[in-house]
Amino acid sequence: MEKIISFIKKKKIGVLKQMVSLKKYTTYKVGGNAKVMVYPKNEKKLLLLLKKLKEENVKYKILGYGSNLIFSDDDYDGVIIKLDLFDKVKIKDTIITAQAGASLVKLSYKAFKEGLTGLEFASGIPGSVGGAVFMNAGAYNSDMGYIVSEVKVITPELKIKTLYNKDLNYKYRNSFLKQNPEYICLQAKMVLRHGDKKLIKELMETRRQKRLLTQPLEYPSAGSVFRNPKDDFAGRLIENCNLKGYFIGGAKVSEKHANFIINCGSASASDIKNLIDYVHDTVKNKTGVDLKIEQEFVNWE
């Protein structure tokens, strides 16, 4: 790793941090330390870094806002790449072009201020544009697949390429990028529609109030843990299995919303994973439904 650290410094790849707690970079507030974290300055520096990491066979992970990841309690013996400096946003008529590091929540409010509709569903999703494109983030029967027209990516061969909506194979909480994680999203182009600012604001505010009433936003979590099965709700199934309030260590099934697992303040990553596994197995044993986990486990091998 010293070789990589030396390379990052010598080539001025970007801001370098060492032995940083991943608790500060995930919405669950759990995880071990990242031995190396780097914020590349631009695409050229990012490509240079990726080339070196592949040459040296060093593992790496692109980390957005950490709102859908569960890092283990072990140290991550690789390089965490943060694209926070890739945060430029351009709006031209109904077309928004946003880099991967831009905030999805802030982007939804920018769209509202421009009188654009189609991104209201994202106003409560605390992730980055890159992460949202990757996992096809969505809510309220809408998702990124409805609005993303094209995505600029780095391919596994370290070429910059444009993928179009038809290439992205968007499905419920899934995409070509999620199935092919060696592709890295650099920016996305989204097509919205002109709308009534007053109605957009009212819709966003109504949904904000609903989230406050129905979701445990006062605790660290990563949103919905399981995908809703066809014609049903994961939360309903979990609640019917009497799992609301069930806890392992500092992790608990929310009493406000059964499809949320919360960190009550002292949870380890293992507590959260063990609770997710327990809920999954209990629901499957009692109902026969095999709930699909929305969140990604990193560094558990």
Strand 193-194 vs strand 148-154: parallel, antiparallel, or unpaired?
unpaired
**294 among known catalytic residues:** yes
3-state SS class at 95? strand
**173 among known catalytic residues:** yes
**211 among known catalytic residues:** no
Which listed residue (103, 123, 224, 268) is catalytic?
A: 224
- Alpha helix stretches (DSSP H) within 160-241: 165-168, 176-179, 197-214, 234-240
Residue 38 to residues 58, 80, 106, 287, Cα–Cα distance (Å): 14, 6, 23, 45
Say how far residue 101 (Cα) sits from the centre of its chain.
11
Q: Which two tokens stand for residue 264?
A: 């009550």
DSSP string, 119-132: -GGGGG--SBHHHH
Task: Tally Cβ neighbours within 10 Å of residue 51.
Answer: 11
* Beta pairing partners, 185: 153
d(CA 274, CA 71): 13
- Alpha helix stretches (DSSP H) within 140-192: 165-168, 176-179
Which listed residue (103, 254, 268, 294) is catalytic?
A: 294
Q: Which residues of the chain form beta strands (DSSP E)?
A: 14-21, 33-40, 60-63, 69-71, 76-82, 89-92, 95-99, 116-117, 138-139, 142-143, 148-154, 160-164, 184-191, 193-194, 247-248, 251-253, 261-263, 296-298
Which listed residue (173, 175, 221, 254) is catalytic?
A: 173
DSSP assigned state of 208: H
> What is the set of active-site residues?
173, 224, 294
